[in-house]
Amino acid sequence: MSEWVDACAVDDVEEEDLIRFDHDGKTFAIYRSPDDDFFATDGICTHEHALLADGLVMDYIIECPKHNGRFDYRTGEAKGAPVCVNLKTYPVKVEDGRVFIDVG
């Protein structure tokens, strides 16, 4: 079931970067791609407990700050060792300068 949550303002996220968003005890990551699209994934790496918000976005890849596990944040796909479990993704929509994610 859909549960759209207002996560942040469009301007809260820099281009080719991400921020952390906490909701209902869960941590998410909100991304803004180089071509200005928004995406959302789980906020914790699937390898070891590390906040992806401290990591680096290059193009469509988020790299975990801890051990460089890499994911395509558009699909959540793990891009090789040390990560082998994909990252969960969430639908995103932008309305009136706000970014909403569907956590349902």
Partner 1 sequence: MGDILIIGAGECGVRAAFALREAGHEGGIALIGAEPHLPYERPPLSKTAPTAPKIIAEEARYAEAEIALMRGSRVESINRAERRVRLSDGSALPYEKLLIATGARARRFPGMEAALTLRSLDDARGILDALGPGLRLAIIGGGFIGLELAATARKLGAKVTVVEAAERLMARIVPAEIAEAMAERHLAEGVQLILGTGVAEVRTNGITLADGRTIGADMVVAGVGAEPETRLAAEAGLEVTNGIVVDGRLATGDPHIFAAGDCCSFPFNGARVRLESWRCAQDQGAHAARAMLGCEEAYARVPWFWSDQYDLTLQVAGLPDPSLGHVRRDLGGGAFILFQRDDAGRLVSASGVGSGNAVAKDIRLAEMIMEKRLRPDPALLKDPAVNLKTVLKGVPA
- Binding region for partner 1 (CB under 8 A): 16, 48, 50-51, 54-56, 58, 63, 65-68, 81-82, 84
Contact (Cβ atoms closer than 8 angstroms) between residue 59 and residue 34: yes
CA end-to-end span of the chain: 5
- CB of residue 54 vs partner 1: minimum separation in angstroms? 4
- CB of residue 46 vs partner 1: minimum separation in angstroms? 13
- Taking the CA atoms of 36, 13, 62 and 77 in sequence, report the sign of the dihedral they define: negative
Cβ proximity to partner 1, 9 vs 84, nearer residue: 84
Q: Is 101 left (phi over 0), alpha (psi -120 to 50) or beta?
A: beta
- CB of residue 60 vs partner 1: minimum separation in angstroms? 15
Cβ proximity to partner 1, 81 vs 93, nearer residue: 81
